[in-house]
Amino acid sequence: MQQIKERKKITGERRLGPYYYGYYGLLISWAKPPIIERKKKKKKYSTQIIHPIMSSKIDKDELRRFHNYLVQCKNIIVLIGSGLSASSGLETFQHSSGFWREFHSIDVSTPDAFLDNPGLVWQFYSWRRRKALKAKPNKGHYAIAELAARFNNNNRDHGKKKQCLTINQNVDGLNVRAGHDKRNLLELHGNLFSLKCTDFFCNYTESNNFEHPLTKALQVYDSDNESGNNDYDDDDGSDDQLKNNSHDHDKNNNKKRKKRKVGDSAKQEINLNLSKDELPRCPACGGLLRPGVIWFGESIPLRTIDRIDDFYLQNKVDLVLVVGTSGQMWPAVGYVERARLQGLKIAVFNTSINQAEIAKDKDHCWGFEGDAAETLPQALEPIIGRNYVPRDYRRR
């Protein structure tokens, strides 16, 4: 008995012995090793309540300072880059090698390339249309659409109308699918789902054409099993992307997806000899249609530039929101520099931000580093609230 007590003090173990089983238990305890009863650890549950859109790390003082200024704004410009669509599964050009099959994307995005081989260019844009159709607008798209709707739908404060102008550098059409009013949405580089005739005497244009494929000859890229060495991997967007703040794709599905190397099978999928009759044709004159995007070497429509300049000149711009862009593409970067020279307030939402530049002018600039689909709704909450995502978002 004394030995058991001393051993208990040394090891700290609770042993079941003669105290529980009497005399016979004493004999059993000497014959067999004593039974050890391990103490169960109690599970500790966190009592902290996390807001569904407050998962990203943002400086609370910085956010509060931005909120106090946001509610006073009358005129806002929103500049959107490809980083916003990255949360929907569309990879940015800066994070990819820029290759489609064995062709560089720039080589099939010029007027000369379309003139030389329109079939090849249409196959490239048919693939891009399919990628954009499989993606879903994220919370950032819906937040911008709600901000524009609240400012532009005759919302008046002390007799002064509020205005919001959105300048979009993306061609994926996700802002339109999120419900953004097209009257206040300027697409600098066009739209994948717009078509226009190439005939000199025909002015036919078509917008919001979400049909895919446009012709049977382009149906080869409607298969889920695509081959070829391209860094624009075919990642399917989930219907539940809005429930996940990170908007990341399932890692298990990515591991199962196999990448095929460049070979004969990859080159055979691209038909370099498509005739013009197999490509989209104009219903008005029968001419050849082309994607309604701004190619390399083409200029942005003058009416779009004038619309932006008039907004700067006719209104006192209170705030410029730079969302998901690195500020390296012209003329978009020119509008940011213009705002800085005029002393306007600027708020940057991007995954990578030069904090040194932000620190130089804290009084006129905010920097919210992280996924713009997460940080932007938090920053706009005083205006758009928390219920800004429409109920039918799954069908968009």
Give catalytic residue positions. Answer: 189
Please name every residue paired with 190 in a beta bridge, in sequence order, or none if there are none. Answer: 293
Which helix (H) or strand (E) element contains residue 166? strand 163-168
Buried b / exposed e across 211-246, counting CB within 10 Å, b at 16+? ebbbbebbebbeeeebbbebebebbebbeebbeebe
| Residue 150: its H or E element | helix 139-152
For residue 142 the two structure tokens come to: 């819906």
Q: How many CA atoms lie within 13 A of 338 on its CB side?
A: 15
Q: How far apart are CA 345 and CA 321, in angstroms?
A: 9
Look up residue 353 and give its two tokens. Answer: 């931000």
8 A C-beta contact, residue 377 and residue 143: yes
> Which of 387, 384, 346, 392 lies closest to 155 in space, CA to CA?
384
What is the three-class DSSP state of 271?
Answer: coil
Of the candidates 384, 311, 318, which has an alpha carbon nearest to the alpha carbon of residue 74?
Answer: 318
**Residue 219: C-alpha distances to residues 2, 128, 271, 292, 304 (Å):** 86, 13, 12, 20, 34
